[in-house]
Amino acid sequence: MARIRYADPAELEDDDLRAELERAMLHSTPRPEIQAVRARQPEVLRAFLSSWNALFRNGIVDLTVKELCRLRVAQTLECDY
């Protein structure tokens, strides 16, 4: 199975992307390991962050819908937590 190495924030040349990756590591959202994979391709991370920030961080999606999204993801991943 192929493995993609997680990007280390110190490796990122873009200060904004480095800050976003560090924020994900600090707050565990969006999932830091997934962000670290996206960071291997900066344009992918930028595109994801644009959507994430607009929908979740900046409040377009209300808390109830966010919780339903989290529940659905947990069910999909068969997470009992």
For residue range 35-50, list pLDDT tens digits in order: 999 999 999 999 999 9
Decide if pLDDT at 66 tops 90: no
Q: What is the pLDDT of residue 60?
A: 84
* Exposure b/e, 29-67, CB count within 10 A at least 16 = b: ebebeebbbbbeeeeebeebbeebeeeeeeeeeeeeeee
Residue 56 pLDDT grade (very low, low, confident, very high; cuts 50, 70, 90): confident
Q: What is the pLDDT of residue 81?
A: 65
Q: Considering the entire predicted model, what is its pTM? A: 0.72
CA dist 40 and 63 (Å) reads 30
For residue range 2-28, list pLDDT tens digits in order: 688 899 989 889 999 999 999 999 998
Q: Do the beta carbons of residue 12 and residue 18 sit within 8 Å?
A: yes
